[in-house]
Amino acid sequence: MSEAKLLVPLYPRGTLPGEVTQQAHGSLEHWHWEGAEKYRPKTSFELWAVEDEALYVKLSTREREPRALYTERDQPVYEDSCLEVFLQPRLDDKRYINLESNANSTLWSAIGERRDGRRFLRELADPAAIASPENFVDKAGGLWGLLFTIPLGLLKELYGADFSFHDGQAMRGNFYKCGDKTPLPHWGAWRPVTENPPGFHNPECFGNIILREVR
C-alpha cells in the first residue's frame, strides 16, 4: 500500500474562518474488529492551518442516534459514539496527542509514545488552552460532527518553544470513528491499523501530513 499523504493548506496569520476556501479532505475507509453485523457510518474530515494560530480538524459522520452519555472532561468518550484525532506534530519526538470527543463535545485529551503510560494534557499544559471541540448535530439529517482547534500555543507548551507552523512542515497522524459500547460497536480509520493491540494507538500506521502555504 502506498504511503498516504495529506497536503494541508497553511493560511497567513489573521485569516478568518470565512476566508478559508481550501482544505485537505479525506474519508475513513478502513474498518476493524467487525462482528457479524457490519456498521460503517460514513465519516469524512477536513484540515487546514493558520500560521502562528492553530491547526483545525473537522470531522463529520452520518449517524442518526449517536450515543453521548459522558459530559465531563477526560471521561472515556470512546465508549460513546466518538470522533478522534491522533497527531504526532514533530517527527523528532515520538509522542503523539489523541483528542477524542462525543457529540456533547466532551473531550478526552492525552499525550504519550504508546497507548500505555499516557498523560492527560491538562496535567502538562494550561487547561484553558485545551478547548473542547465545537459540535454540530443535525438529527433530522442524521449527521453530527466536531471542529477540533489545536492551538499553536498548546503545541509549544507540549513540544517546545521552537515549534511553529511553516511551509513544508511534516507531521503524522490518523483519524478515527468508534463506539466501543454503542448498540453496534465500530472502529473506523483513515489509515488502516493492525488487527492486534495496540489498535488505534499504533503510530507506525499513521499517515503523513504536510503543510503547504496558500499562495
pLDDT digits (tens, 9 = 90+) for 137-168: 998 899 999 999 999 999 999 999 999 999 99
pTM: 0.96
Peptide bond into 198 cis (omega under 30): yes
* Calculated CA dihedral for residues 161, 166, 171, 175, nearest 10 degrees: 110
Domain regions of the chain by residue span? 5-213
Residue 3 has pLDDT above 80, yes or no: no
User: How far apart, in whole angstroms, are the C-alpha atoms of residue 177 and residue 41?
Assistant: 8
How many CB atoms within 10 Å of residue 81? 25
What are 38-91's pLDDT values in tens digits?
999 999 999 999 999 999 999 999 999 999 999 999 999 999 999 999 999 999
User: 175, 189 in Cβ contact below 8 A?
Assistant: yes
Q: How confident is the model at residue 1 (pLDDT cuts 50, 70, 90)?
A: very low
164: amino acid identity, one letter: S
Q: Which of 86, 84, 17, 5 lies closest to 50 in space, CA to CA? A: 17
What are 90-144's pLDDT values in tens digits?
999 999 999 999 999 999 999 999 999 999 999 999 888 899 999 999 988 999 9
> What pLDDT shows up at residue 192?
95
> What pLDDT shows up at residue 200?
95
Cβ partners under 8 Å of residue 15, min gap 6: 50
Does 2.60.40.1190 match the CATH number of domain 5-213?
yes
